[in-house]
Amino acid sequence: MTADMLSAILVSGIVLGSGYALMASGLSLVWSTLGIFNFAHGVLMTLGAYVAWTVSNAAGLDLGLAAGAALAVAALIGAGILLERMVVRPFYGHRDILLISVMTTLAAMIFLQKGIQLLWGARLKQLAPILPGNVPLWRTTISAQEALIMVVAPLLLGALWLFLRRSRIGRGIRAVGQNPDSARLIGIDVSRLFIITFALSAVLAGLTGVLLGSVRLLTPEFGADPLVKALIIVIFGGLGSLGGTIAAAYLMGIVEAALTFYVGIYWTPSMIFLLLIVVLLFRPQGLSGKVVR
């Protein structure tokens, strides 16, 4: 392997991994706090990208990308709160909440995806890149937007980590994730933190959508593929561990870039799935996770 190939694989792997890490960390956050799995996460990403497009694009309101991103964040806070209220909250305390929430969030995903298709139509759209042009990087060249993703993703994840470690609300979220009953006993408002967690995760999804919306084409199914990748990542990384999830996301990005290079884009999903089965046969709890029952 020449250094050129290695750099091409590593750089594109890290770009991929950055997007995956943003997606998967939101999923992992909701899982470790609420104990449910949000299948509408992918479509929230789509929603963020479409809102940003409508606000910023010349065919829409033409207000610039900053306003687009801001409105996307606002819309996703609303969507996250609504989603938690309508399809998750009614089932708290139910003994089958895991299975039920899979079905209700799946229903919410279909609802939002078809709603987006009705509102915006099926025509392909693309966000204007935040940064134009290309950037040379260690023997290879990537677009400035991809470089931006590489920089912004770790910053956002670092901010998330600081928020969870240092702030009062963040520590509350972690306490609820560790033991909701004791958290309630020491006076934490658990249901308010559930809403905050859901909104936070929705915002992460929406920002991922805004970042990726200029690299990929927008369709109503825009979030489906990242969602599936995020599923595989949280299996690899072990659910509930944010660090494990982020590490698995970058690892997955690099593995995917390497596989695309060696076996071609068509066989990559099969190879990843094969890898997944092999890992699960030996470590059913994921690479770093604890046993979840």
Partner 1 sequence: MASLRNGKAWLLGILLVAGLVVPILVEDTYLRHLFIISFVYGIVAASWDLTLGYAGIFNFAHIAFFGVGIYATALAAKLLGIDPWIAMLIGGIAASAAAAIVALPIVRLQGVYVVLVTFAFSQLVFQLVISQSQVTGGTNGIVRIPTLSMPGHNFLRDYKLGYYYVAFALLVAATVCLRLLVRSDFGLSIKALRDNEDYGVSRGIPIARQRLKALVASAFFTGVAGGFYVIYLRVASPEIFDFSTASLVLSMVLVGGTSSIYGPIVAALVLTFISEGLANINNFAEGRFMLVSVAMIVVLLFFPKGLASVLPAALARRHEKRDRESRNWKGTRVVPNDQKNGTALPPISLDRST
Find the binder of partner 1 among 23, 175, 232, 246 (CB under 8 A): 232
**Applying CB under 8 A, does 261 fall inside the site for partner 1?**
no
Residue 147 phi, psi (nearest 5)? -60, -40
Choose among 14, 22, 13, 10: nearest CA to 230.
22
User: For residue 206, what are the CA distances in angstroms to 225, 271, 277?
Assistant: 15, 29, 30
- Smallest separation, CB 96 to partner 1 (Å): 4
Site track 102-131 with partner 1 (rule: CB under 8 A), x = hit: xxx-xxxxxx-xxx-xx-------------
Our CB check for partner 1 shows the closer of 62 and 96 to be: 96
Distance CA 48, CA 78 (A): 11
**Applying CB under 8 A, does 287 fall inside the site for partner 1?**
no
Tokens of 210: 């805004």
- Smallest separation, CB 107 to partner 1 (Å): 4
Distance CA 15, CA 189 (A): 38
Q: Are 288 and 273 in contact (CB under 8 A)?
A: no
Residue 136 phi, psi (nearest 5)? -80, 135
Name which of residues 154 to 193 contact partner 1 (CB under 8 A).
Answer: 177-179
**Applying CB under 8 A, does 281 fall inside the site for partner 1?**
yes
Query: Which residue stretch of 139-147, 167-175, 187-195, 267-275 sits at the interface with partner 1 (rule: CB under 8 A)?
Result: 267-275
**Applying CB under 8 A, does 35 fall inside the site for partner 1?**
yes
Q: What is the DSSP letter of 122?
A: S
**Applying CB under 8 A, does 243 fall inside the site for partner 1?**
no
Specify the 3-state DSSP secondary structure of 135: strand
Distance CA 246, CA 156 (A): 12
Query: Which residue stretch of 45-53, 129-137, 251-259, 269-277 sits at the interface with partner 1 (rule: CB under 8 A)?
Result: 269-277
Our CB check for partner 1 shows the closer of 25 and 214 to be: 25
Query: Which residue stretch of 3-11, 134-142, 253-261, 271-279 sits at the interface with partner 1 (rule: CB under 8 A)?
Result: 271-279
Find the binder of partner 1 among 129, 154, 243, 269 (CB under 8 A): 269
Q: What residues are paired with 136 via a beta bridge?
A: 141
Residue 141 phi, psi (nearest 5)? -125, 135
DSSP string covering 199-210, please? HHHHHHHHHHHH
**Applying CB under 8 A, does 247 fall inside the site for partner 1?**
no
Q: Are 120 and 135 in contact (CB under 8 A)?
A: no
Find the binder of partner 1 among 2, 3, 185, 266 (CB under 8 A): 266
Our CB check for partner 1 shows the closer of 37 and 194 to be: 37
Name which of residues 42 to 101 contact partner 1 (CB under 8 A).
Answer: 86-87, 90-91, 95-100
